Amino acid sequence: MYNKNVIYGSNYNLIESNLVSIIIGAKCDDSIIIASDSQATDKLNLTKKYVNKIFEKEVDNSVFVYSGAERPDINELVFDEAMRNYKSNLDFSVICRNAISKIKEEYPDVRNENGLLPFRMLVGILNKTTKKLELYHAKPEGIVIPTKQIEPIGSRCNLAESTYQLYLSYAPDQYNLYSYEDKILEAILIAIYRIKQFDLYCGGDFQYKILKNTGDIKTTDKDYIKKMENKIIPELLKNHVERMWSDE
């Protein structure tokens, strides 16, 4: 779904605006999901454009899916530096922390007013030898932590979290929720959908990658996305609102 208030190719003086990107990751029993919107800012001519925000890479018998918020170039520098030193028998969090420190030292001019790099990443990893999956959140403070829950990043992460938590509160089998990859993907897409409905700086198509513990990567199914946006999500949201009112 595209934001109806946006005229693409128009100058919105975006350099002075609070830019928005929404990226959500989740760790399921046998997969890692990362999903996002697809709208970005062309800072050269101050217009909006469509970009790929989720990437994949294979290094030393490990498969990665990853995405970042804030400055894409800084995310790329940190990730590439981590990959230069990555070995599948090493702790990724240590490698990534070292990469953040190095980029911070090499590019002092890009630090913000708090002395931090303007970046934030979600990195899903499959170690093909051990079949172990991990989802890491790399933060500008140099913190790199694995997470076992749904993890949003971007300027609207609080709204995203409240949206998918509300949806999941009505999902079945609360004690084993993360075995339901399709239910988690649905919740993530609902959160992105709600943000794109009203926020000028979020928009474009859904995109997602799902890293399976087999090493396969499922990419965006456009037919599924079309059905989700035009039929399934509106009906789910309507049913949830009606249920909330009836519960009261």
pLDDT tens per residue, range 86-102: 999 999 999 999 999 99
Structure letter (DSSP) for residue 17: S
- DSSP letter (8 states) at residue 202: -
> What is the chain's pLDDT, residue by residue, as a tens digit (248 residues)?
445 545 555 454 544 444 457 899 999 999 999 999 988 766 566 566 788 999 999 999 999 999 998 888 999 999 999 999 999 999 999 999 999 999 999 999 999 899 999 999 999 999 999 999 999 999 999 999 999 889 999 878 888 888 888 778 765 555 456 678 988 999 999 999 988 887 767 788 899 999 999 999 999 999 999 999 888 888 877 776 555 444 54
- How far is residue 190's CA from residue 188's CA, in Å, rounded to a whole number? 5
- CATH H superfamily, domain 14-221: Aminohydrolase, N-terminal nucleophile (Ntn) domain (3.60.20.10)
- Residue 156 burial by CB count (10 A; 0-12/13-18/19+): exposed, middle or buried? buried
Cross-strand bridge partners of residue 217: 211
**Which stretch of DSSP H or E encloses residue 26?**
strand 23-27
Q: CB of 118 within 8 A of CB of 110?
A: yes
Q: What's the pLDDT at 178?
A: 66
Tokens representing residue 163 in the block: 């949206």
Give the per-residue pLDDT at 17. Answer: 43
Of residues 64, 77, 67, 65, the one with CA closest to residue 40: 67
Which residue matches tokens 């975006």? 14
Burial of 247 per CB tally in 10 Å (0-12, 13-18, 19+): exposed
Chain position carrying tokens 């009112």: 245
- For the chain, the domains span 14-221
Question: How many C-beta atoms lie closer than 10 Å to residue 96's C-beta?
Answer: 24
